[in-house]
Amino acid sequence: MLLNPSDWIVRWSHLLTPGATVLDVACGSGRHLAWFAGRGHPVTGVDQSIAAAQDHAPGAELVCADIEKSDWPLCTEGGQVRTFGAVIVANYLWRPLLDTLVASVAPGGVLLYETFADGNAQFGRPSRADFLLQRGELLKVCENLDVVAYEHGYLQTPPRVVQRIAAKRATPVCAHTPDWVRQTL
């Protein structure tokens, strides 16, 4: 059975431009891949096991990789980090990857991130500090993005403490853009 997508991800999905490419990091069963693909977005998922995602997100580009023990697998032939119209992360934290995830957000793209945070130990796993965001940590990671929404707190069902952010990378203004357009941006 495929779980529903995260309420946070659904709530802020309107920030994506129509047809934007979506990267789901640690995609698991593919619940977000299936949801975004169903809304016309080309989707890419990366996880150390992609079997479940293959069942739920046919047609998705799936990359099987242990992103905690190997180089980032989503790079161009020139070695640059590939960018996406949206980068989605739910219930996953690997701090050495945070800068890469932000770099994967294309101009005009969004980062939608939600995972467990400091204070969750009282409700169960994860409980180690390595897997819990500290207060304000996502804000610091997204300092070069425009933060649309941020929360850190307790959620009742199921009981847990989370931190989540919706952030957008600005679209650069071209030098040949008329002044009247620049003033409205």
| Domain extent listing, the chain | 7-184
Separation CA 174–CA 105 (nearest Å): 19
Q: What is the DSSP letter of 44?
A: E
For residue range 141-166, what is the model confidence (pLDDT) as tens digits?
Answer: 999 999 999 998 888 888 888 889 99
| CATH number assigned to the domain covering 7-184 | 3.40.50.150
Residue 136 carries which DSSP code?
T
Q: Which residues contact 24 (CB under 8 A, 6 or more apart)?
A: 30, 32, 33, 36, 43, 44, 45, 46, 88, 89
- Between residues 137 and 184, the one the model is more confident about: 137
The 10s digit of each residue's pLDDT in 83-125 is 999 999 999 989 999 999 999 999 999 999 999 787 767 777 8
Over the chain, what is the mean pLDDT? Answer: 89
Closest CA to 48 of 34, 33, 68: 68
